[in-house]
Amino acid sequence: MDYHVRDLSLASQGLLRMEWAEREMPVLRRIRERFSREEPLKGVVVGACLHVTTETANLMVALKEGGAQVSLCASNPLSTQDDVAAALVREYGIPVFAIKGEDKDTYYSHIASVLATRPRVTLDDGADLISTLHFLAQGREGELSTSLKEVFGSWSQRGREALVKEVIGSTEETTTGVIRLKSLAAQGKLLFPVIAVNDADTKHLFDNRYGTGQSTIDGILRATNRLLAGSVFVVCGYGWCGRGVAMRARGMGARVIVTEVDPIRALEAVMDGFMVMPLVEAARLGDFFVTVTGDISVIREEHFAVMKDGAIVANSGHFNVEVDLEALEGMSTSKRRLRPFVDEYVLKDGRRIVVLGEGRLVNLVAAEGHPSAVMDMSFADQALAVEYLVREGGKLKPQVYRLPQELDMEVARIKLKSMGIEIDSLTPEQREYLSSWEMGT
CB of 356 closer than 8 Å to CB of 328: no
- CA 140, CA 117: separation in Å to the nearest integer? 20
Q: How far is the C-alpha of 220 from the C-alpha of 226, rounded, in Å?
A: 8
d(CA 85, CA 14): 8
Among 82, 102, 199, 260, binds ligand NAI (CB under 6 A): 260
Q: Residues 103, 64, 90, CA angle at the centre, nearest 5°?
A: 55
Q: Which of 252, 264, 378, 239 is nearest to 316 (CA)?
A: 239
Counted residue by residue, the chain has a size of 441
Residue closer to ligand NAI, measured from CB, 69 or 214 = 214
Which one, 164 or 305, has the nearer CB to ligand NAI? 305
Interaction mask 284-313, ligand NAI, x per CB under 6 A? --------xxxx--x---------------
Q: Residue 30, exposed/middle/buried by CB under 10 A (0-12, 13-18, 19+)?
A: middle
Binding ligand NAI by CB under 6 A: which of 223, 236, 384, 400? 236
Least distance CB 234 / ligand NAI (angstroms): 10
Among 17, 134, 300, 318, binds ligand NAI (CB under 6 A): 318
Strand blocks (E) in 202-331: 232-236, 255-259, 275-276, 288-291, 311-315
- The interface region with ligand NAI, picked from 17-25, 257-265, 379-387, 416-424 by CB under 6 A, is 257-265
Which position's Cβ is nearest ligand NAI? 239
Is 206 a binding residue for ligand NAI by CB under 6 A? The answer is no
If one asks whether residue 372 binds ligand NAI (CB under 6 A), the answer comes out as no
Nearest-approach distance from CB 205 to ligand NAI, in angstroms: 10
Q: Compute how many residues bind ligand NAI; rule: CB under 6 A.
A: 28
Q: 340 — alpha (psi -120 to 50), left (phi > 0) or beta?
A: beta
270 binds ligand NAI (CB under 6 A): no
Instruction: List the Cα angle 55/61/65 in 5-degree steps.
Output: 150
> In the complex, what is the shortest distance from the CB of residue 211 to ligand NAI, in angstroms, rounded to a whole number?
6
Q: Report if residue 237 touches ligand NAI, rule: CB under 6 A.
A: yes
208 touches ligand NAI by CB under 6 A? yes
Q: Which parts of this chain interact with ligand NAI (CB under 6 A)?
A: 174-176, 204, 208, 212, 236-242, 259-262, 265, 292-295, 298, 316-318, 361, 363
